[in-house]
């Protein structure tokens, strides 16, 4: 082995989002945000491992069951790309999603806003600029 050798990683496969109610989270990510159910299997003591993804994408979000007492309602740091931040902001607000009051705009930065899922986890929508 060489000190200059790197790991042989190829992609970000799955990002976990802590979830207190998997059925509620699945409904939100599929019906409200437009994700597709990619995988579901029994997991642990009566729970499920659920992965969702945006249509045509490989990276999934795991709607991970959260043990009692573990934190939920975190800033996930997850950025979702959109073609139209204003339209998505209006749609999510119309559907009752807790989103920023308006789309944020700064010189040289793509339009973006944040929103929370039913567990209070914060995600971001960023407009594609190219």
Edge to edge, the sheet with strand 14-19 lists 14-19, 60-65, 47-53, 36-43
Percentage of the chain lying above the pLDDT 70 cut = 100
Tell me the pTM.
Answer: 0.90
Could you read off the pLDDT of 44-90 as tens digits, one per residue? 788 899 999 999 999 999 999 987 888 889 999 999 999 999 999 99
Q: Measured between alpha carbons, how far is 3 from 122 in angstroms, rounded to an integer? A: 38
């Amino acid at each position: 082995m060489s000190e200059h050798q790197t790991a042989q990683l190829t992609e970000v496969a799955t990002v976990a989002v802590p979830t207190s109610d998997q059925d509620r989270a699945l409904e939100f990510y599929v019906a409200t945000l437009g994700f597709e159910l990619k995988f579901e299997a029994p997991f642990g003591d009566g729970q499920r491992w659920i992965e969702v993804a945006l249509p045509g994408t490989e990276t999934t979000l795991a709607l991970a069951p959260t043990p009692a007492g573990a934190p939920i309602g975190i800033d996930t740091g997850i950025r979702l790309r959109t073609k139209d931040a204003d339209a998505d902001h209006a749609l999510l607000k119309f559907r009752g999603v807790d989103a920023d009051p308006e789309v944020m705009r700064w010189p040289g930065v793509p339009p973006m806003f944040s929103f929370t899922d039913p567990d209070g986890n914060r995600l971001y929508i960023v407009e594609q600029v190219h």
